[in-house]
Structure 1
Amino acid sequence: MFLKTPSDTQALGAALAPVLRAGDLIVLVGPLGAGKTQLAQGIGAGLGVRGAVTSPTFVISRVHPPDPSRGGRLPLVHADAYRLGTIAEVDDLDLDADVESAVTVVEWGAGLVEQLTSGYLEIRLDRDDDSDVRTATLVPHGSDWADRLAALDLG
């Protein structure tokens, strides 16, 4: 799917929110500038979380509680594994402590966080070097991700 603007990337995240539930893991894959944080912002908006969803590059992980006034129903754990090199470093974050009760979105997590759940959604983002157009590929791994994605109209 083509995402022509940053707003389109955020809209994809918001469109995923209705099928997300506690215990979900989403792994965002793509080069710098591909829109991983923008996608996480859309997921946060769709979940109705409190506060702005910003890149957790320097703090590594942030928890955004649901905001009842925005219809929030689930917390969002947003992590960035860019500076982490081993599964042991990921284990030190204790993401598994939150994974059961929240939606967990991890940027740069491929090869490091998949063991946190029995199934996860991988979203691959690529950016055209000559424009801001991004391509998103949603890859379900286990669980019932394929069925949940099929139920969505992602345009």
Structure 2
Amino acid sequence: MTFLLPTVADTKRLGADLARLLRPGDLLILTGPLGAGKTALTQGIGAELGVAGPITSPTFIIARVHPPDTGTIPLVHVDAYRLGSLDELDDLDLDASIEDSVTVVEWGAGVVEQLTDSHLEIRIDRHDNDAREIELIGHGGDWDTRLKALTEGTC
């Protein structure tokens, strides 16, 4: 399913809508060029999950854990761009917290899929007019059912 979102605020709103479908153990893999809106989408997810702290790009620290503040589910936000190998991914020990958290990985395609049996792939593209095109692709699990709830507005 694909969404065309005219503003960054719309991107954050989609993140918030998506967060209402999420549960501990979910893995979201975000792809898209620099400035596409990966962190903005994650900000919307984090706001709706009620996690602590501002959500900023984890580019220089690679992974940041946002514990619950007003919510109940932690958010693990990862930037896999600078990871050189699967061994470096293992060093992050993400699988130790993945069952209890929602894990969002920017630049994670081809690297982190093996962490869970199912995941949500989110492809983000930024158009010249600053609109974002976001495609959600469920892999395994009950993603098709959950995404249907998103389009029907029942989440």
TM-score > 0.5, shorter chain as reference: yes
Number of the residue aligned with 1:139:
137
**TM-score w.r.t. length of structure 1:** 0.94
Change (3 A) 1:111 1:49: same
CA distance in 2, matches of 1:119, 1:50: 26
- Unmatched tracts of structure 2, length 5 or more: none
> Percent identity, aligned pairs only?
65
CA distance in 2, matches of 1:86, 1:3: 34
* Other structure's SS at 1:149 match: helix
Q: Is the 8 A contact 1:49 1:64 kept in 2?
A: yes
Query: Which one is further off, 35-44 or 145-154?
Result: 145-154
Residues 94-148 of structure 1, C-alpha deviations (whole Å, 9 max, x = no match): 11011000000000000000000000000000011x2211100000000111111
Number of the residue aligned with 1:28:
30
Residues 23-70 of structure 1, C-alpha deviations (whole Å, 9 max, x = no match): 0000001111110000110100010111111110000000001113xx
Number of the residue aligned with 1:153:
151
For 2:150, the aligned partner's letter is L
**1:85 Cα offset (Å):** 2.5
Number of the residue aligned with 1:95:
94
Number of the residue aligned with 1:112:
111
Deviation above 3 Å: which 4+ runs of structure 1?
none
- Unmatched tracts of structure 1, length 5 or more: none
CA distance in 1, matches of 2:133, 2:41: 12
Aligned residues: 151
Number of the residue aligned with 2:54:
52
CA distance in 1, matches of 2:63, 2:83: 12
CA distance in 2, matches of 1:154, 1:85: 40
CA distance in 2, matches of 1:29, 1:20: 19
CA distance in 1, matches of 2:152, 2:63: 28
Q: Is the 8 A contact 1:23 1:103 kept in 2?
A: yes
* Other structure's SS at 1:151 match: helix
**1:154 Cα offset (Å):** 6.9
Q: Is the 8 A contact 1:15 1:154 kept in 2?
A: no
